[in-house]
């Protein structure tokens, strides 16, 4: 079956197309999969591995002792910090295609890093099966979302590494409350889902798709996937049970073709355009924002800087990157506020983290100023 490009482009125009990115996108030029590369990096099959007792066929681990989990996670972080040139090439094109939501099934943020590098303003979140849902940094119509469905490598307890983790994850998903309600609503209201490089041969993939209600018979949405390497039996199961349309194109060809068609339709995100010169009618100079920080008005300072950068974020690559940094700072501040309100931080810890946020905020203000900012920030309304 070939791709119905007119349908795909139409759903992208209407912000009704959600992209899922799986680990097979990371397969290198020699055909080594991400799972295999990680297994080799961890030396997970070595019976004398000091931390890992077993590495199962489905990719999960059994640690010799639970305390060694953090040791292995440290190694996993190092693994994901390496360059993935094949995946990065795909992500460079994906970053400009205007998907409102991109769901990743790997715990890294390479896609986010590529978007930041290209100056594409966006927000990030991840599913943490042992914590309640977090607030989004901004509405989805304002900033696209890159969402790590299986945790984030920088948040140890969010990672799904063992069978116990998976069962805890699935239990949390079925109970609900761990995913932001607005995000979940947007996911369910999509008209088209594109699956790139999903690990269809893993038994738990069926559970994940069911959890996201992507198996519903008679549902008013499409599911499209570039051609994976599957047995006939597995492919038939996904076609019958999940109504996935496996199209003839491979991942790289599919993304290239979609990119070119979006370019022809003038749909690509503008990431390199020069900013327009404009002065807001009501404004406050950046020195005033610094004064807000000095008088412990961190939230007001964040809001003022956000209002200043908002009109510039999609018209200038550097300001797009700065805006992403600001969004992450706002998220750090809100998370700290929540922890403080719940009594989850010590007084000294709270002071240290606030000092770090304020320092990073002042650094960002200086970077904005040095880049040629007009020196003014729109006042909050």
Per residue in 6-24, pLDDT tens? Answer: 999 999 999 999 999 999 9
Q: Using an 8 Å Cβ cutoff, are 271 and 320 in contact?
A: yes
In the chain, where are the structural domains located?
5-29+82-264, 283-378
Residue 146 and residue 123 in contact, taking contact as beta carbons nearer than 8 Å: yes
d(CA 313, CA 115): 12
From 255-259, 316-320, 364-368, the region with the lowest mean pLDDT: 316-320
Q: How confident is the model at residue 314 (pLDDT cuts 50, 70, 90)?
A: low
Strand order in the sheet with 145-148: 123-126, 145-148, 101-104, 17-21, 192-196, 222-226, 245-247
Is residue 333 scored above 80 in pLDDT? yes
Instruction: Say yes or no to pLDDT of 135 above 80.
Output: no
Per-residue pLDDT band for 276 (boundaries 50, 70, 90) equals very low
Sole residue written with tokens 């986010």: 112
Q: Return the pLDDT at 375.
A: 42
Mean residue pLDDT of the chain comes to 81
For the stretch 140-161, pLDDT in tens is: 767 889 999 889 998 888 999 9
pLDDT band for position 281 (50/70/90)? very low
Percent of the chain exceeding pLDDT 90 equals: 31
CATH topology of domain 5-29+82-264: Rossmann fold (3.40.50)
Tokens of 103: 């769901």
pLDDT-derived band at 372 (thresholds 50, 70, 90) equals low
* CA angle, 38 then 250 then 193, to 5°: 85
What residues contact residue 372 under an 8 Å CB cut-off, 6+ apart?
none
pLDDT band at 377 (very low <50, low <70, confident <90, very high): very low
Confidence of residue 221 (pLDDT cuts 50, 70, 90): low
Q: Is the pLDDT of residue 305 over 80?
A: yes
Q: How far is CA 12 from the centre of its chain?
A: 18
- Residue 139's pLDDT band (cuts 50, 70, 90): low
For residues 380 and 183, the model is more confident at 183
pTM over 0.95: no
Task: Answer whether residue 38 shows pLDDT above 80.
Answer: yes
- Tell me how far apart the alpha carbons of residues 242 and 235 are, in angstroms, rounded to a whole number: 10
**Opening angle at CA 162, ends 159 and 167, nearest 5:** 90
pLDDT at position 280 is 38
- Between the CA of residue 358 and those of 159, 283, 368, 377, what are the distances in Å? 29, 22, 15, 18
CA distance 196 to 91: 11
Query: In degrees rounded to 5, what are phi and psi of residue 364?
Result: -65, -45
Distances (CA, A) of 339 to 127, 134, 324: 18, 12, 23
């Amino acid at each position: 079956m070939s791709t119905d490009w007119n349908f795909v482009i139409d759903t992208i125009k209407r912000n009704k197309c959600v992209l899922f990115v799986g680990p097979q996108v990371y397969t290198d030029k020699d055909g080594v999969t991400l799972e295999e590369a990680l297994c080799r990096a961890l030396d997970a099959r070595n019976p004398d591995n000091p931390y890992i007792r077993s590495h199962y066929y489905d990719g999960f681990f059994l640690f010799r002792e639970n305390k060694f989990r953090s040791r292995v996670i440290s190694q996993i972080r190092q693994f994901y910090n390496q360059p993935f040139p094949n995946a990065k090439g795909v992500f460079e094109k994906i970053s400009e295609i205007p998907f409102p939501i991109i769901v990743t099934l790997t715990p890294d943020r390479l896609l986010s890093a590529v978007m930041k590098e290209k100056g594409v303003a966006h927000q990030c979140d991840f599913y943490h099966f042992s914590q309640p849902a977090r607030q989004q940094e901004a509405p989805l119509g304002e900033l696209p979302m890159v969402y790590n469905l299986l945790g984030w490598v920088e948040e140890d307890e969010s990672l799904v590494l063992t069978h116990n983790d998976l069962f805890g994850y699935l239990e949390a998903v079925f109970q609900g409350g761990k995913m932001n309600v607005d995000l979940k609503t947007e996911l369910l209201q999509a008209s088209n889902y594109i699956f790139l490089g999903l690990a269809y041969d893993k038994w738990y993939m069926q559970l994940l798709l069911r959890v996201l209600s992507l198996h519903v018979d008679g549902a008013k949405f499409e599911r499209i996937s570039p051609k994976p390497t599957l047995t006939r039996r597995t492919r038939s199961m996904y076609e019958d049970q999940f109504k996935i349309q496996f199209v003839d194109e491979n991942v790289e060809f599919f993304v290239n073709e979609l990119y070119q068609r979006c370019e022809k339709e003038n749909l690509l995100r503008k990431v390199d355009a020069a900013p327009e010169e404009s002065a807001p009618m009501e404004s406050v100079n950046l020195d005033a924002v610094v004064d807000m920080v000095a008088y412990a008005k961190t939230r007001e300072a964040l809001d003022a800087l956000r209002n200043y950068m908002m009109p510039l974020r999609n018209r200038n690559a550097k300001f797009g990157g700065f805006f992403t940094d600001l969004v992450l700072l706002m998220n750090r501040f809100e998370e700290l506020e929540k922890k403080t309100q719940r009594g989850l931080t010590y007084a000294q810890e709270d002071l240290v983290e606030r000092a770090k946020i304020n320092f990073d905020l002042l650094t960002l203000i200086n970077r904005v100023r040095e880049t040629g900012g007009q020196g003014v920030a729109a006042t909050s309304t």
